[in-house]
Amino acid sequence: MATLAPTTPWAKGAKDDYRDCPVTTLKVDMHAERLIIANAVMAVVTLTLGGIAALLIALTRWQAVHLLDATWFYRLLTLHGIDMLVAWMVFFEMAGLHFGSTVLLNARHAAPKLAWLGFIMMTVGGLMANVVVLFDPSSNVMFTAYVPLKAHPLFYLSYILFAVGALIAVITFFINIVVAKREGRFGGSLPLVVFGLMTAAILATYTLLEGAAAIVPAFLWSLGILPNLDPGIYRNFFWGFGHPAQQVNLAAMVAIWYALAQMTVGIRPVNEKFSRLAFILYLFFINLGSAHHLLVDPGLSFGWKAVNTSYAMYLAVLGSMMHAFSIPAAMEIALRAKGYRKGLFGWLRNGPWKEPGFSALVISMVMFGWIGGVTGVTIGTEQINMLVHNTLRLPGHFHATVVAGTTIAFMGFTYYVIPLIFRKELKLKKWAVWQPYVFGGGMLLVSLGMITSGLQGVARRNWDISFAGVVPGTVDLTLAIFGIGAIIAVIGGIMYVSIVLTSILTGPRLEASNLLLVAGTNNPLLESTTLTDHQMEDKQNQPKGSLVLVIAFLVWFAVYYLTNWWLLGRTWFIR
């Protein structure tokens, strides 16, 4: 039987600064609580900055509106990339790591000073990057800062500060786990959610080291200490950081998926071994993804590109496909065990659709897999990449993964962090019910608008495509879909920030009394401990509906993938 809080009792004494959580029955270390709050606040701050930039650049790319001038467009696009893809994600993940390595293990934060040092470095680095990009005209170099575009030295220094800060925070995660284990804070094995976060932390460690291999030489070069850098080698190292960083997001997101599924429907993982093996596949194979960005670069062989882009043999993709089944299957079993057994999808219809954690989870999984995953594998195919490289199909793909997938999952999770960690009542609950749908709907249009524009050859990172004068008239339509989607998504973003700010800035401190926010007073987290082996194996409860869903997914995957080969076969001969 799985347990929530096994437990070596905490000794009374000055060092043990903790509280008992009445909802989860877990102990919350106050150092960890403050660290989680600080990181979460910075995540929301950077999300807000990046969101303002998002609205303005989307309204510029929507050709009929074309809001900003070229310089401001490129400036804010640089800012948007840094604030969203790096700052918001990593701050939220650090909050997640502090949470996973202490609260979920019933343990104390063993290195709070070190963690604060990391946080301060990240904050200084993150804000410095914003200031440099906004005020230094030479630093409009995009988030990628491809050599030999030369930004201000402070630009590179801000990356280094942020990355080293993040690395320090990640190290405290490992310290916490070792200390928790040694002090016997938890019985049995690491919870699956923490196992997933551990995967993210291990990936983050070498990701940040590769980032150093790209950015530190660029920093020295911008100071004039190094004479020149090879642009091809810079690209390889930069993407050794840039791509695995997205896999850190992936692993953290999947961990949050398991957490949300447990908190909103009370799942018990169908098979711990199955889910953990899937995480281990990430660990071994996902770092090869750097090649995704170099598929049409000079200087590299077919063999190198094909092996790396496919994660050896699509084994990291296999990991994602395993999670894509195991999470809905666990949800199906848990809901069937509650009596929703009608037909293939009766369990799904009866899910708590008003509960933001549940809707965020479902929207995140569907958009990540059906749009983000399918397009990602397809454009990461060596030859097909020739049709896609640096067109809008690319941001179309990663807005489906990182925004419609990871960001929605993180947003959904935030609503539970507010009562449980901030200890404030969640305000604007009705908004919270709708927010995942609004944001998800907007991002759906953004992704589809970008992908369909890119299919027609529209370049990414381009202020005004009409200069080219070649794109067909339907581009106006697809760019309008993108622009309208962006407005809807920004409304969803404003709802999110309003809910968070209203909740944490108004009202008294209040101990949480209920886990679910709107869908009832029961506690799925504790209920999940009562799911017996018998219920899990009951014939009536078997996840047939989930199997149908994943098979349908595979059919769509095959259709999209093969259509792209067909498109490639129609173009000029090239070798």
Q: Which is nearer to another protein, 229 or 495 (CB)?
A: 229
The region, left, alpha or beta by phi > 0 then psi within -120 to 50, assigned to residue 142 is: left
- Minimum gap (Å) between residue 413 Cβ and another protein: 12
Of 205 and 390, the one with the shorter C-beta distance to another protein is 390
Tell me how far, at minimum, the Cβ of 108 lies from another protein, in Å.
16
For residue 148, say if its preceding peptide bond is cis, omega within 30 degrees of 0. yes
* Minimum CB distance to another protein, residue 82 (Å): 14
CB of 178 to another protein, least distance (A): 16
Nearer to another protein (CB atom), residue 301 or residue 521:
301
| Residue 560 in tokens | 């999209």
Residue with tokens 């901030």: 422
Distances in whole angstroms, Cα of residue 23 to Cα of each of 429, 485, 508, 509, 520: 19, 38, 18, 15, 14
Residue among 45 and 267 whose Cβ is closer to another protein: 267
Residue closer to another protein by CB (options 166, 516) is: 516
CB of 11 to another protein, least distance (A): 21
What H or E segment, with its residue span, contains residue 28?
Answer: strand 27-29
Shortest distance (Å) from residue 454 CB to another protein: 9
Which of 206, 304 has the CB closer to another protein? 304
Distance CA 481, CA 442 (A): 10
CA pair distance 498, 575, nearest whole angstrom: 53
Of 139 and 207, the one with the shorter C-beta distance to another protein is 139
Q: Which is nearer to another protein, 88 or 285 (CB)?
A: 285
What's the Rg (C-alpha) of the chain? 23
Q: Of 310, 172, 206, 319, which Cα lies nearest the Cα of 254?
A: 319
> Which residue, 350 or 383, has its beta carbon nearer to another protein?
383
Place of tokens 């309208």: 484
Residue 366 and residue 374: Cα distance in Å, rounded?
11
CB atoms within 10 A of CB 44: 20
Least separation in angstroms between residue 272's CB and another protein is: 4
CB of 554 vs another protein, minimal distance in Å:
6
Q: Where are the beta strands (DSSP E) in 352-496?
A: none
The backbone torsions φ and ψ at residue 167, rounded to the nearest 5 degrees and listed phi first, read: -60, -40
d(CA 37, CA 31): 10
Which residue, among 105, 84, 139, 134, has the nearest Cα to 28 in the 3D structure? 105
Report in angstroms how near the CB of residue 227 gets to another protein at its nearest: 13
